[in-house]
């Protein structure tokens, strides 16, 4: 295969999962590598909200489109345009906002170690440094969903986030739509991810790699697992013969 595009997850692959300052030397090396033009074009595919992705795109000189909010939102830097991903409807957005209101007013006040992540339009995420509390929060969400037919969501966990996404909206569907728009065949795409949320990415690319910190379920389905973690892993993966040629 020849890689024509690289699609990379952000947290755990480019930036640390932990809420810490980034290694500027390493980050700068990565930005220069992406900007150098020596690699196939790259874009991002992340759970992060559009404004966060916009900043990264400016740092890496990625014109887009990028996939934000786990596939619920696209953003193109070239024309500063954000739009909803495949499967997102107005009715689903309204139902999701009802669920979010329930989590904010009924669940989180009793969970001092959990916080709503602000800034998302078509999904929401609860952050906690103590992810062992997530099953308890997920049970409350499941109960609300059972009682409200119009709310169709999928709840997944990454390292420090409990992500509530619209049913049928995931990185895979968004990626297929994106590749269609770019006119690129999935088998000519390289994907990089680290958590279960990246499995749809794995299923829609020809070559999939993971950094050393990836979850075991992701490592077991990767074509290449770097011995290095996070951004060091990403820089190592970009040197792989499948990508660098
Ligand atoms: Mg990740």
Overall pTM surpassing 0.85 (yes/no): yes
- C-alpha 47 – ligand 1 centre gap (Å): 8
- C-alpha 186 – ligand 1 centre gap (Å): 20
Q: What is the pLDDT of residue 81?
A: 96
- C-alpha 147 – ligand 1 centre gap (Å): 31
For the 90-166 domain, the top CATH level (class) is: alpha beta
Where do the CATH 3.30.70 domains begin and end in the chain? Answer: 90-166
- C-alpha 4 – ligand 1 centre gap (Å): 22
- C-alpha 195 – ligand 1 centre gap (Å): 5
Structure tokens of 194? 């680290």
Burial of 132 (0-12, 13-18, 19+ CB in 10 A): exposed
- C-alpha 196 – ligand 1 centre gap (Å): 9
Q: What is the pLDDT of residue 2?
A: 87
- C-alpha 217 – ligand 1 centre gap (Å): 13
Q: What is the pLDDT of residue 156?
A: 87
User: What is d(CA 32, CA 152) in angstroms, rounded to the nearest whole number?
Assistant: 41
Q: Which of 120, 219, 108, 200 is nearest to 163 (CA)?
A: 120
pLDDT digits (tens, 9 = 90+) for 46-79: 999 999 999 999 999 999 899 999 899 999 999 9
Q: What is the pLDDT of residue 168?
A: 87
Query: Is the Cβ–Cβ distance between 70 and 169 less than 8 Å?
Result: yes
Spell out, as residue ranges, where the chain has pLDDT lower than 70.
none
Helix (H) or strand (E) holding 46: none
Q: What is the pLDDT of residue 147?
A: 94
List Cβ neighbours of 195 (8 Å cut-off, separation of 6 or more): 9, 12, 158, 159, 214, 215, 218
- Which listed CATH number (3.30.70.1230, 3.40.50.1000, 3.40.50.300, 3.20.20.140) goes with 5-86+169-244? 3.40.50.1000
User: What is d(CA 231, CA 25) in angstroms, rounded to the nearest whole number?
Assistant: 11
- C-alpha 15 – ligand 1 centre gap (Å): 9
Where do the CATH 3.40.50.1000 domains begin and end in the chain? Answer: 5-86+169-244
- C-alpha 10 – ligand 1 centre gap (Å): 6
Which single residue is written with the structure tokens 């379920």? Answer: 217
- C-alpha 133 – ligand 1 centre gap (Å): 20
Q: Following CA atoms 50, 10, 123, 103 in sequence, which dihedral angle do they give, to the nearest 10 degrees? A: -120
């Amino acid at each position: 295969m020849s890689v024509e595009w690289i699609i990379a997850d952000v947290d755990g692959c480019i930036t640390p999962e932990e809420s810490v300052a980034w290694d500027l030397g390493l980050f700068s090396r990565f930005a220069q590598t992406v900007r150098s033009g020596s690699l196939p074009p790259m874009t991002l595919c992340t759970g992060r909200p559009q404004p966060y992705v916009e900043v990264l795109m400016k740092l890496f000189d990625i014109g887009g489109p990028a996939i934000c909010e786990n596939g619920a939102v696209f953003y193109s830097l070239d024309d500063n345009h954000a739009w909803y991903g495949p499967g997102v409807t107005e009715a689903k957005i309204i139902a999701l906002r009802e669920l979010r209101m329930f989590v904010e007013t009924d669940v989180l006040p009793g969970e001092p170690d959990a916080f709503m992540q602000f800034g998302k339009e078509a999904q929401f995420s609860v952050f906690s440094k103590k992810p062992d509390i997530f099953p308890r929060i997920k049970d409350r969400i499941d109960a609300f969903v059972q009682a409200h037919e119009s709310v169709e969501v999928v709840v997944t966990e990454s390292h420090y986030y409990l992500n509530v996404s619209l049913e049928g909206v995931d990185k895979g569907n968004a990626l297929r739509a994106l590749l269609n728009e770019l006119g690129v065949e999935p088998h000519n795409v390289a994907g990089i991810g680290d958590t279960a949320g990246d499995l749809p990415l794995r299923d829609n690319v020809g070559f999939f790699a993971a950094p050393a910190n990836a979850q075991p379920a992701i490592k077991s389905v990767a074509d290449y697992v770097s011995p290095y973690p996070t951004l060091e892993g990403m820089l190592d993966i970009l040197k792989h013969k499948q990508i660098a040629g």
